[in-house]
């Protein structure tokens, strides 16, 4: 199962439970906030926020109440940054590779691989990595 399938199916499952008036069957949340949210009506899906070891799903209730459910994913989440060798042609919107000597290419791949380590990848998570409302 891919991360996008995991996130989408889990978010939908929680949403359906909330719409039926039930507490989420997975994840952690603030029970007092859920009691308050239930009195406000049906939720709307909000954003999904990824962290290396947590996925947080947000649901918006009438009156701007934000209810969050955090779920531990089945494995560590890694943000895959665009490698420095990728060239984007803004005018055409195309993305392509680039030419390098083999030794330079090996160095670029090593640099990229370091970005995938636990410590190297932690710095690329943040507010700008929020997945839009689904």
Asked whether residue 14 falls in the same domain as residue 46, the answer is: yes
For residue 42, tell me if it sits in a domain. Answer: yes
Once rounded to an integer, what is the mean pLDDT over residues 30-56? 94
The residue to which tokens 């940054």 are assigned: 81
Contacts of 113 (CB under 8 A, 6+ apart): none
- Could you give the count of Cα atoms lying within 13 Å of 72 in the half-sphere of its Cβ? 1
- Please check whether residues 96 and 72 belong to one and the same domain: no
Identify the domain containing residue 54 by its residue range.
3-76
Per-residue pLDDT, 28:
98
> Do 24 and 71 reside in the same domain of the chain?
yes
In this structure, what DSSP letter does residue 28 have? B
- Report the share of the chain in percent with pLDDT over 70: 89
Quote the pTM value.
0.80
Does 10 share its domain with 55? yes
- Domain assignment present for residue 81? The answer is no
Residue 113 has pLDDT above 80, yes or no: yes
Q: Do residues 36 and 61 both lie within one domain?
A: yes
Asked whether residue 134 is domain-assigned, the answer is no
Please check whether residues 8 and 71 belong to one and the same domain: yes
Query: Are residues 72 and 9 located together in one domain of the fold?
Result: yes
CB 73 within 8 A of CB 54: yes
Q: Is residue 122 part of a domain?
A: yes
According to DSSP, residue 131 is labeled: B
What are the CA-CA distances from residue 85 to residues 64, 95, 111 (Å)?
A: 43, 11, 11
64 within a domain of the structure (yes/no): yes
- As a whole number, the mean pLDDT across the chain is 88
- pLDDT of 127 > 60? The answer is no
Domain count, the chain: 2
Give residue 102's pLDDT: 87
Does residue 62 form part of some domain? yes
Residue 18 shares a structural domain with residue 70: yes
Q: How many CA atoms lie within 13 A of 120 on its CB side?
A: 10
């Amino acid at each position: 199962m891919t991360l996008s399938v995991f996130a989408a199916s889990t978010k939908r499952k929680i949403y359906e439970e909330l719409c039926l008036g039930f507490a989420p069957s997975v994840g952690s949340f603030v029970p007092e906030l859920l009691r308050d949210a239930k009195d406000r009506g049906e939720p709307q899906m909000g954003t999904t926020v990824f962290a290396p070891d947590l996925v947080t799903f947000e649901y918006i209730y009438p009156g701007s109440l934000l209810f969050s459910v955090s779920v531990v994913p089945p494995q560590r989440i890694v943000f895959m940054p665009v490698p420095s060798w990728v060239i984007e042609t803004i005018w055409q919107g195309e993305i392509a590779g680039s030419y390098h000597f083999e030794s330079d290419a090996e160095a670029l791949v090593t640099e990229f691989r370091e970005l995938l380590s636990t410590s190297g990848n932690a710095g690329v998570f943040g507010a700008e990595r929020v997945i839009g409302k689904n």
